[in-house]
Amino acid sequence: MRSKYMSASLCNLGFCPRDSYQLPKISGVRISCDSFAPSSSCFNLKLRRYGCCSKYRLVHVTAMDEDSVSGFDDWVGSDGAVVYSFSSSDGEDSDGEFILNPLSDVDMPTIRDKLRPEALTIMSNRLALTGKAHKKSWQVYLLKALYRILIQYGVVINLGLITFLIVLLLYADWCAWRIVRLPLSQFHLMRPFSTSAILVACAGYIGVPLLRRMKMKSIINKEGPNRQALKRGTPTMGGLLFVPIGVIVAEVIVGFSSIEVSAAAVATLSFAAIGLLDDSLSLINKHNGGLSSWTRILLEIAVGACFCYWLYTSNVSSPYSIKMVVPLPVPVGLVCLGNLYLFLTSFCFVSLANGVNLTDRLDGLAGGTAALALIGMSIAVLPICSDLAVFGASMAGACVGFLLHNRYKASVFMGDTGSLALGGALAAMAGCTGMFFPLFISSGIFVLETLSVVMQVSFYKTTKYLHGRGRQLFRMAPFHRHLELCGIKEPIIIAGAYVISSMLILCAGYIGLISV
């Protein structure tokens, strides 16, 4: 007999052949034909003879013949069940629909008739096309589980970073009197660090929803890895939450009496203003590119030049009788650079600001590595200017507090407002004390990211000039993008950067201490 429509209850489908044919797993079929309602268990036993197996929960499927496709809408059956269309795809990303039509040439038998192999074969072949869809459901389940694990990794990574920094700062405070040989306040570095971290963490719970309400959404580059597209719409300009707090806490603790801290604060806020202008233009223009590259570099050079002029005309506290000197470990000792010192300072401002900005592409990467670099510089400059050490510890604490909201998966990005400010803070600490060598070591991650971009561009232009076709040294620059495209997960990249940076700041702090 032929029926106008057939309502069937089928299981999640997948390929599970028991013979040479690819047959789907079927839990049972209930054919509703007028007064017939065969037992699903009885029918299930007979299905097993044809290589079908019973598994998983039931889902409702409606199969119709060609004559009734035009009326194929959502409707309620006689038994009160909601009926939906059933579709499958031939490819992974296909949008084409395939409507099941088991009544093509062979009638489906009722419970009174003997089951015919032809009917079951047609039904099995028609349902076999749905295997990929159910494989996708398992993939989605695995992706969700992986997503939860990665979020937990983000929490664990942050806890490890915070623990390392707290232990290091407590040890530095315990040994501070041996390093400086001057009376320092108790918890000289730990106090500004913890104060800034707590204030920024609390401010984030107010500032992040405010940024989201103001629609300060980040713009994601289309040429990046596909997974970065998932971050589209995350609020940016997070630097407004932690940069002012880090600066204010440092000024309050030193009592607004340190000229070095004031100069570093002005330089940091100036770079934050450049980043804020860049972020604002990006949001207005709706694309990732506010200020042009040359305009931003010129503004950074201008701020660096003003800082150098202040450095040249002011009396900066120093244990040496002359200015413009760079302390290096024995046997080199002090190196007087003269006017080259000013050029080196300006270069550090521009290169570090852009280096931190290039690193700010993964959740927590720039914030965590910047916090480590600032702590390394705080230890290195402690014998020369203890107030600047307070400034570095305060900015590092602000970064750690911001990581509570910027860790994987980030609820806010620091944007150019934060990344340029952090680069300016690091360069200002080195410019006031001459600790350029410890700066180079503690900022090793930023140096690596910048060099990867320079090498990529240089290699491409060279090969294009020599061979007429440019080639890439990395799959994508900066270097962390190359690692992403190689299949390394984002939390793994971040954890590796933290470990490397932790070892680098220990070396930088030690070199800074033995250089004085």
pLDDT in tens, 161-177: 999 999 999 999 998 88
| Burial state string for 448-484 with b = 16 or more CB within 10 A and e = fewer than 16 | bbbebbeebeebbeeeeeeeeeeeeebebbbbbbbbb
pLDDT on residue 138? 67
Q: Looking at the predicted structure, is the pLDDT value of residue 347 above 90? A: yes
> Distance of alpha carbon 16 from its chain centroid, rounded?
39
Give the least confident one: 183-187, 277-281, 393-397: 183-187
The model's pTM is 0.72
Kindly state the tokens that stand for 455: 């090498």
Confidence of residue 314 (pLDDT cuts 50, 70, 90): confident
Nearest to 437 by CA among 353, 334, 287, 367: 334
pLDDT digits (tens, 9 = 90+) for 52-83: 444 444 444 444 444 444 444 444 444 444 44
Average pLDDT over residues 28-47: 43
- In whole angstroms, give the CA distance from residue 413 to residue 146: 23
Nearest to 216 by CA among 420, 414, 419: 414
pLDDT digits (tens, 9 = 90+) for 91-102: 444 444 334 444
* % of the chain with per-residue pLDDT over 90: 51
Q: Looking at the predicted structure, is the pLDDT value of residue 49 above 50? A: no
pLDDT on residue 419? 96
* Sequence-ordered list of residues with C-beta below 8 angstroms from that of 57, at least 6 positions apart, any chain: 11, 12, 27
Beta strands in 405-497, from DSSP E residues, in sequence order? none
Q: Looking at the predicted structure, is the pLDDT value of residue 442 above 60? A: yes
pLDDT digits (tens, 9 = 90+) for 383-426: 999 999 999 999 999 999 999 999 888 889 999 999 999 999 99
Beta pairing partners, 6: 63
pLDDT on residue 333? 87
Average pLDDT over residues 104-111: 44
pLDDT on residue 99? 41
Beta strands in 65-162, from DSSP E residues, in sequence order? 75-76, 82-83
pLDDT on residue 83? 44
Q: Where are the domains of the chain?
A: 5-136, 175-435
Q: Looking at the predicted structure, is the pLDDT value of residue 135 above 80? A: no
Q: What share of the chain is helix, strand, coil (3-state, %, to 5)?
A: 60, 5, 35
* % of the chain with per-residue pLDDT over 70: 68
